[in-house]
Amino acid sequence: MIDTKQLGETGLQITRVGFGAWAIGGGGWEFGWGPQEDDQSIAAIHRALEQGVNWIDTAAAYGFGRSEQIVGRALEGLAERPYVFTKCSLLEGPGRRVLHSLERDSIVREAHASVERLGIDAIDLYQIHWPIPDADIEEGWSALAELKQQGLVRHIGVSNFDVEQVRRIQQIAPVETLQPQYSLIERDAERELLPFLERAGIGVIVYSPMGSGMLTGTMTRARIAELPDDDWRKRDERFREPRLSRNLELVERLSAVAERHDTSPGAVAIAWTLRNPAVDGAIVGFRRPDQVDPLLGAASLELSGEDLDRIEGRAG
């Protein structure tokens, strides 16, 4: 059984690793991951659930509805469904590029459309995807509070907000969760955000703990060169020089620690995020069933001081 932890003060007891459904939204949009096989995506979800994962994090923006539809198909006929978390505020614009809206009516429409695609009666956690435009975050947050009051969503949170933005919207309704990017190669959240969230009792689920695939141990220069043109990572600075060389050196250190624990570099990278006391769970993207098992061990992997020194490059 995978280790669990309460998500902030929501009362939700979540597995330390959750199923991330960004990549299964496929390619053909601004932040797509190239072509995906829907049957493989569904098989991956089923494998994760069989292994005890009890929550899925998706968003209306992932493939502009496609990810939610696939999650909905995977949930059909299940005796017991996992918690389903999704997000709003990113709309489909011209050329399948992202448009931002935090207007109340837009968010209410999005919520009803998500519930329909997912085939569920209520969303367990509904999140504002990005605090854009900043001037409208109060209006957007008021809409989420309204949806919670109506019972269409059970808990409400935000993603990619900073401390000041959280303080602003807390005046309207309590912020139950926050979803920041956090990994060995994106550590900004450590400085101010995670300590603040821990003190405030706000639940934290981190995204991209493996740096969008960079820290899995399977990413090489050759593989990056062969990424499909509609895989957004091809344009991301973490996958290009000068950061690429530093990141690949980090992967070598992760591989050394993984060998010691008889696990994968990706599992070590995820476990590194989970060791932060503010973090309740990590969102891990799976696209095929064979990717699931090697990473779930991260939930119970305890890294020693020596491991941490090795990872940080402080030891030989």
Mean pLDDT throughout 269-295?
96
Give the Cα separation of 38 and 134 in Å (integer).
35
pLDDT at 263 over 80: yes
Counting Cα atoms < 13 Å in the Cβ hemisphere of 133 gives 5
Please answer whether residues 236 and 181 qualify as being in contact, where contact means their C-beta atoms are separated by less than 8 angstroms: no
Record the pTM: 0.94
Which member of 62, 83, 126, 182 is catalytic?
A: 62
Which region among 58-62, 171-175, 243-247, 291-295 has the lowest average model confidence (pLDDT)?
Answer: 243-247
Q: pLDDT class for 13, splitting at 50, 70, 90? A: very high
Give the Cα separation of 200 and 21 in Å (integer).
28
Q: Is 126 a catalytic residue?
A: no
Crossing angle between the packed helical segments 305-312 and 265-274, to the nearest 10 degrees: 110
DSSP three-state, residue 245: helix
Q: Which two tokens stand for residue 155?
A: 């808990």
* pLDDT score of 224: 77
Mean pLDDT throughout 69-90?
97
pLDDT at 315 over 70: no
Please answer whether residues 130 and 100 qualify as being in contact, where contact means their C-beta atoms are separated by less than 8 angstroms: yes
Strand 17-20 with 13-15, pairing: unpaired
Q: pLDDT class for 66, splitting at 50, 70, 90? A: very high
For the chain, give every domain's residue range: 4-312
Please answer whether residues 284 and 19 qualify as being in contact, where contact means their C-beta atoms are separated by less than 8 angstroms: yes
Question: In Å, how far from its chain's centre is CA 173?
Answer: 23
Residue range 18-40, pLDDT digits in tens: 999 999 998 888 887 778 899 99
Q: Over the chain, what is the mean pLDDT?
A: 94
Residue range 206-238, pLDDT digits in tens: 999 998 778 987 877 777 778 777 777 878 778
- DSSP bridge pairs for 18: 283
Mean pLDDT throughout 251-277?
96
The full DSSP string for 196-215 is: HHHHHT-EEEEB-TTTTTTT
Please answer whether residues 261 and 298 qualify as being in contact, where contact means their C-beta atoms are separated by less than 8 angstroms: no
Which has the higher per-residue pLDDT, 245 or 105?
A: 105
pLDDT at 316 over 60: no
pLDDT at 16 over 90: yes
pLDDT at 166 over 70: yes
Mean pLDDT throughout 54-62?
98
In this structure, whether the domain defined by 4-312 belongs to CATH 1.10.3260.10 is answered with no
Mean pLDDT throughout 269-286?
97
Q: pLDDT class for 302, splitting at 50, 70, 90? A: very high
Strand 13-15 with 4-6, pairing: antiparallel
Mean pLDDT throughout 172-201?
97
Contacts 24+ apart (CB under 8 A), 156-159: 156/125, 156/126, 156/127, 157/125, 157/126, 157/127, 157/128, 157/203, 158/127, 158/128, 158/131, 159/87, 159/127, 159/128, 159/129, 159/130, 159/207
Phi, psi angle pair for 270, to nearest 5°? -70, -45
